[in-house]
Amino acid sequence: MFQDNDAERLLTAGRLMQAALTLLAGIVIFLWACELAGSTAGVLALAMWCFNPVALAHGHLIQTDAGGALTFVAASWACSRFLMRPTLQRAIVAGAGLGAALATKLTALLLLPTCAVLVCVRCFYPFTAKPSAREWFLYAIAFAVSAYGVLLVVYAPYWNPPPPLAETQAAVLEIPRWFQVLRPVLVPADFYKAVALTMGSARGGHNAGYLFGEWSPRGWWYYYPVAMGLKSPIAWLLLCTGGLLLFVKRLPGLSFGQVVPWVGVAVFLAMTMVNKMNIGIRHLLPVYALVPVGVAAQAVAGPRLIRIAAGALCGWMAIVALWAHPFYIEYFNEFAGGTKNGHHYLLDSNLDWGQDAKRLKYFLSQHGIDHIYLRYFGVPAVIQYYGIPNTSVTAEQAQQIHSGILVISVMELMNPDWSWLRRQQPVARVGYTLFVYQIGNS
């Protein structure tokens, strides 16, 4: 089935597109920071984005994360520019930015409360020329029509409302009541269906929630702050802390534009704390895009010593990025004891997405192993594609093995069903996600 498909070529092409989106996000971050505090701030913000293992890990994978970060930060900037100097043109651009973000990744729904908070914050700043109530109404209509128009274009020609959904099925999927009531007018159907399912998942949680060795389908309110503390380079955390302290100290005298990225970060993190779907730091990629703008604007406005320290910390980040290559998905900082100990704290897309199958093929070839028992967390077709000779086993079946090599993904290994295997020492690790065990004598 694979003879006509060059998976490596297809993956490379897809990942190049994602990498391009990540670079575009870097350009937006650079330009926004330059607008706030000059070119030095732009360079500092760009360095914080480009040398971050989280961005390097998920900024090239064929997912919606890179595009989501790009459109989120671009929409935030457009909203900031509109609120600083309201015009009809800027309202249309800001609305289009929101629409593009919503069409790219549904975490952009958090732009709605962010914009609401920014409107409230803007009331504390004087306008050069304050628009009239009529003008504000016109801007609001233009903003909404522009955002909705982008969604309609993206989803054309699928503009039918969602089909009826049985009450029992809605209850199982935890579909919000509003979806059922407003179903006939929810156009485009696929977008609102995705929104309803996402909100249901956020309330209902995920059966793969894992933190500090514990599993929970309901998640933890502190999951994402902890994940950020363990997955971010210490230099990045220091830059973030220092920038936040400077921001708080200078807040009374700061311009509205300098407040915007921090408001975006605060709203995003606050909303994730009530989200019970705790499966990966990648969902915070918009935060990793916003923080550099806020930090850079504060760092360059400080004394020369602060600017030097910020530059040195970015240099430290660059060293970390080089040292972590190519294991960016698996990266954990020193607070977690390094990448090799990350599985004691976080799993899923924080560590194991089945990315070591090719390394497993090489490992088996190097050691002359012609058959393994395998419990793999990933797409089974990958194992087939690389021609890895294996017998797939469950935890119960693995306990019946008398002799052989057992290879297991760490995502599976940390499951309670495999606690008996964790009491043994692996003979090798392939990458950071595959543990190799010798069963009996072979």
215-260 pLDDT, tens digit each: 988 889 999 999 999 999 999 999 999 999 999 999 999 999 999 9
Say whether pLDDT at 138 is over 80: yes
Burial class (CB in 10 A: 0-12, 13-18, 19+), 160: exposed
CA distances in angstroms from 251 to 34, 39, 243, listed in the order given = 19, 22, 12
Question: pLDDT exceeding 70 applies to what percent of the chain?
Answer: 97
Contact assessment for residue 227 and residue 57, using Cβ atoms and an 8 Å cutoff: no
pLDDT at 92 over 90: yes
Residues 310-339: what's their mean pLDDT? 97
pLDDT band at 206 (very low <50, low <70, confident <90, very high): low
Would you place residue 178 in the very low, low, confident or very high pLDDT band (cuts 50, 70, 90)? confident
pLDDT per residue over 279-295, tens digit each? Answer: 899 999 999 999 999 99
Radius of gyration of the chain (CA): 24
Q: What is the pLDDT of residue 204?
A: 65
pLDDT-derived band at 433, boundaries 50, 70, 90: very high
Instruction: Tell me the pLDDT band of 185, cut-offs 50, 70 and 90.
Output: confident
SS3 assignment, position 425: coil
Spatial separation of the C-alpha atoms in residues 282 and 44, rounded to whole Å: 22
Contact 87, 47 (CB under 8 A): no
What are the domain boundaries of the chain? 9-324, 356-439
User: On the CB side of 155, how many CA atoms lie within 13 Å of its CA?
Assistant: 24
CB-based contacts of 324, cutoff 8 Å, min separation 6: 53, 56, 331, 339
Q: Which of 138, 37, 145 is nearest to 86 (CA)?
A: 138
Question: Residues 371, 409: contact at Cβ < 8 Å?
Answer: no
What are 20-76's pLDDT values in tens digits?
999 999 999 999 999 999 999 999 999 999 999 999 999 999 999 999 999 999 999
How many residues does this entry show for the chain?
442
Residue 372 bridge partners (DSSP): 390
Query: Which residues lie closer than 8 Å to 352 by C-beta, 6 or more apart?
Result: 330, 343, 377, 409, 410, 411, 433
CA distances in angstroms from 233 to 168, 213, 335, 339, 360, listed in the order given: 46, 22, 9, 11, 28
Beta bridge partners of 408: 375, 435
Record the tokens describing residue 133, joined without a space. 């109530």
Q: pLDDT band at residue 205, thresholds of 50, 70 and 90?
A: low
Output the pLDDT for position 399: 94
